Amino acid sequence: MAEGFASQGPGRLWLGELDRAYADSTECNTYPPEIRQRLIDVLGLEPGRNGSPGLASIAPTVANLLKNGAFGTSQPYTATS
């Protein structure tokens, strides 16, 4: 589903800008190894009607980084997470 969004003009531009911003800021976005809980922005996409682009949303999510480098079970971020 993300491919459909990314293939659309505005979606492609937005994801490209996001990719460039991340590439330019990887050093300041690196967590120290002792911090295991991570804040992750999850991109959600709703399908559009009749092939038109759908709506995109970003949900802040919290997950723990596992020893194998994968993320554990995630939960929605709250100020007390």
The string of pLDDT tens digits covering residues 36-78 is 999 888 888 887 888 777 788 889 999 999 999 899 999 999 8
* Model pLDDT for residues 20-44, shown as the tens digit of each residue: 887 777 666 678 888 899 988 888 8
Cα 81 from Cα 77, distance rounded (Å): 6
Q: How far apart are CA 53 and CA 46, in angstroms?
A: 9
Q: How far apart, in whole angstroms, are the C-alpha atoms of residue 81 and residue 74?
A: 11
- Sorted by where each begins, the domain ranges of the chain are 2-76
Decide: 49 and 23 in contact? Cβ < 8 Å. no
- CA 64 remoteness from chain centre: 15
